[in-house]
Structures are given as structure tokens and as C-alpha cells.
Amino acid sequence: EDQVTQSPEALRLQEGESSSLNCSYTVSGLRGLFWYRQDPGKGPEFLFTLYSAGEEKEKERLKATLTKKESFLHITAPKPEDSATYLCAVQARKDTGRRALTFGSGTRLQVQP
């Protein structure tokens, strides 16, 4: 059974204080690892897809990296508007026929001015 564990559950940062969120996963053959941002009362917003170990993707102050067992979301010099829950999800290989995403419980990030 695919599993995703995210840590920490909650993180409070001062504006400008860089940090990293962790996503550990087990999956029967990884097709892709996905990062989403979710604001309260809204649906998840797609951020990145990573397909293979060593891959990195960046968007503004966010950078996602992937190894064979975990992914990190690095937040550089965060601003209050980066406050949200960040969700990690995995999808199994195409040949399994499964398209479902398995999500972690998320990291609630609060950035204080």
C-alpha cells in the first residue's frame, strides 16, 4: 500500500527565515511525486511534479527536490503570503493502471511578518 508521511505537521517561520518541508514516501513503483498548496476552505493548487531521483523544480521562493525515498520543499526567504498547507502526493507507475494520488496529511506553514 502506498504511503506518504509529511513532517513537520506545523511550522511557524518569521518572514525571511528559510526552511524545508519533508515528504517521505513508499510506493510500488513511482510515476510521479506532486506538491500542492492548499489555502483554508479551498481546493489544492498544483505546484510541481517530480518524476525521478535528482530532479529539482523551482517556482518563485519554492524549490522541490526528489530522492528515492523522500522529497523536500525548500522555502527561501518566505513571505506572509506563503502561509498555507503544503501537501505532498505520489502516483504509482502507469503500468499499474492506477491514477489515484496518495496524499500525506500536509504541513501547515505560518509565516509571520
Chain contacts with another protein (rule: CB under 8 A): 4, 32, 34, 36, 41-46, 49, 87, 89, 91, 97-106
CB of 113 to another protein, least distance (A): 25
Q: Measured from the CB atom, is 19 or 49 closer to another protein? A: 49
Q: Measured from the CB atom, is 18 or 52 closer to another protein? A: 52
CB of 19 to another protein, least distance (A): 20
Distance separating alpha carbons of residues 20 and 35, to the nearest angstrom: 13
Backbone angles phi, psi at 96, to 5 degrees: -80, -15
Distance separating alpha carbons of residues 97 and 5, to the nearest angstrom: 23
Please say whether the dihedral angle defined by the alpha carbons of residues 102, 40, 35 and 25, taken in this order, is positive or negative. negative
Q: Measured from the CB atom, is 5 or 18 closer to another protein? A: 5
The three cell numbers of residue 82 are 506563503
CB of 71 to another protein, least distance (A): 14
Cβ atoms 55, 75 nearer than 8 A = no
CB of 89 to another protein, least distance (A): 7
| CA neighbor of 22 nearest in space, from 82, 64, 52 | 64
Q: Measured from the CB atom, is 19 or 47 closer to another protein? A: 47
